[in-house]
Structure 1
Amino acid sequence: MRVTRITPHVYKISIWIGLPISVWAVKENDGMMLVDAGIGQMGKGILKEIEQLDIGPLKRIVLTHGHPDHVGAIERIRSGRDVPVYAHPLEIPYIEGELPFPDRKKASVLVHPGLTQPLPDSEDGLSKIGGLKPFLTPGHSPGHTVFYHVEDDVLLGGDLFTSTRRGKLKRPIPLFTYNMPLAVASGSVVKYLKPEILSLCHGTDIRQPSLQYDAYAGKWGKM
């Protein structure tokens, strides 16, 4: 496993299995928060790495979405720990096996039913959770959500995009994206937020992604 400190509060924990798979540890005032939980075999390594980071006890897990490479290690990470798990309410029925993901014929129980709580909301949308502001970005999955660290100006993008080694925006993996035009449109969140850094689960991190979005949308929005 590789750990990269992206910003003062955000660390990226990655493994390579045919492609990079990453989660994020976010330092908070009262401990740390994990964004996504990777595949099952990452559980032991994630626990080891966050212990070595020594940025406080794990307080919560938040999910960009419910695909297996983002929730697979939840059980191992939570073993012996009463750690709450949050996701967008639109995503929870798919995570808990009530509904099949739109691109799949059968539902699968990926997280024990009743474990995942809805992200808190307010009159103007989703509320901040710790230092992160969530934004709903559907298309890759119905409740796909990205998390913006306001203080550090970094957007944790989950599978909203993938990226090349040269830091170019690419569309999310088509095989697992049920509505590509919607996913491409959701990517416009980078133009709204204009983060200094976009960090992705699959691929390299990108500086000033808003400068690439129009070209990206022009290419992938037509396919």
Structure 2
Amino acid sequence: MDKEQQPLMDDGWHMAHAEAEQVLDDVAFYRTLIANVIFIGKEDSEDWVLIDCGVNHYSKRVIDAAEKRFGSHPPKAVILTHGHFDHIGSAKELAKHWNIPIYAHPLEMPFITGEKSYPVANSAIGGGLFSLLSPFFPTDPVNLSKWVRPLPEDGSVPYLEGWRIVHTPGHTPGHVSLFRDRDRTLVSGDAVITVKQESSMAVFIQSQHIHGPPAYFTHDWHAAEHSVKKIARLNPKTILSGHGLPMEGELMQEQLTQLAMNFKDYAIPQHQDKLH
């Protein structure tokens, strides 16, 4: 769906081409270099929410895409699936611009309030160029304490009626997905993704296939497996993930089922300790 790979610079030419791509009448996405941001809300709505904030230096293009879809109406809030650099890189600039709260799972708080760093990426697993480059990806804590709030304990999603939070740890301790029961739409973050993120070629051509979380940044494979099984039990009809194009239909569901059933073989790097 994304028509071109965009360089990591804000400029007028690319801002003119910043436009969210609609998946459902109230769900759209925009790709920030390697990671997606999700817009939940109908066009021109005053009540919409942004899921994740993409990589650094993309705030102007996210704002431009939002204004094309919703006019001058700012989002009610940002919901973070987790705090890795490619999901919160533009968070501070967006929160400042819109003066809105950012919500995250309580277990993710230390990583986004300046208290704790994520483990350094493991370049030896996953294969592909992005795995080799992953030790250079930022892992330092980002301080969003001025804007961040914990997600409600009851699993509800602020400002999004009909959606619920599904705790899907493994990739990070406080990773969450969002699920809407009425049409079985899943925003999966990095718990499952629709492209082999370790491979630069797969990312460039956006080759679609259901995969487990990016291997180089996943440190709890036991929890990651349980999260994929939890997602499979939801039987989603449509998946919008943090990386890759949206997927729906029988092929997606078959691939998700196979991933859940064979997670150790399909997702866990071979030299990692096998789960018991």
Q: Which TM-score applies when normalising by structure 1?
A: 0.86
1:163 aligns with 2:194: yes
Which of these residues, 239, 242, 250, is aligned with residue 201 of structure 1?
A: 242
Q: Using the alignment, how far apart are the partners of 2:26 and 2:168 within structure 1? A: 23
Q: Using the alignment, how far apart are the partners of 2:38 and 2:230 within structure 1? A: 20
Higher helix share: 2
Which residue of the partner structure matches residue 41 of structure 2?
Answer: 27
Q: Using the alignment, how far apart are the partners of 1:193 and 1:146 within structure 2? A: 11
Residue deviations 1:87-114 (CA, integer Å, cap 9, x gap) = 000101112221222457x973313324
Which residue of the partner structure matches residue 157 of structure 2?
Answer: 128
Consecutive unaligned residues of structure 1, counting only runs of 5 or more, are: none
Q: Write the letter of the residue equivalent to 1:136.
A: H
Stretch deviating more after TM superposition (204-213 or 63-72): 204-213
Q: Over alpha carbons, which structure has the higher Rg? A: 2
Q: Write the letter of the residue equivalent to 1:22.
A: N
Higher strand share: 1
Q: Using the alignment, how far apart are the partners of 1:101 and 1:54 within structure 2? A: 34
Q: Write the letter of the residue equivalent to 1:206.
A: M
Q: Write the letter of the residue equivalent to 2:149.
A: Q
Percent identical pairs in the alignment equals: 25
Q: Using the alignment, how far apart are the partners of 1:79 and 1:99 within structure 2? A: 23
Q: Using the alignment, how far apart are the partners of 1:197 and 1:214 within structure 2? A: 14
Q: State the secondary structure of the residue aligned to 1:40.
A: coil
Following TM superposition, by how much is the alpha carbon of 1:188 offset from its aligned partner in structure 2, in angstroms?
1.8
Q: Using the alignment, how far apart are the partners of 2:255 and 2:89 within structure 1? A: 32
- CA 1:103–1:182 in 2, change beyond 3 Å: closer, same or farther? farther
RMSD: 2.4
Which residue of the partner structure matches residue 87 of structure 1?
Answer: 104
Which residue of the partner structure matches residue 146 of structure 1?
Answer: 177
Consecutive unaligned residues of structure 2, counting only runs of 5 or more, are: 1-17, 122-137, 196-205, 269-276
Q: Using the alignment, how far apart are the partners of 2:30 and 2:182 within structure 1? A: 20
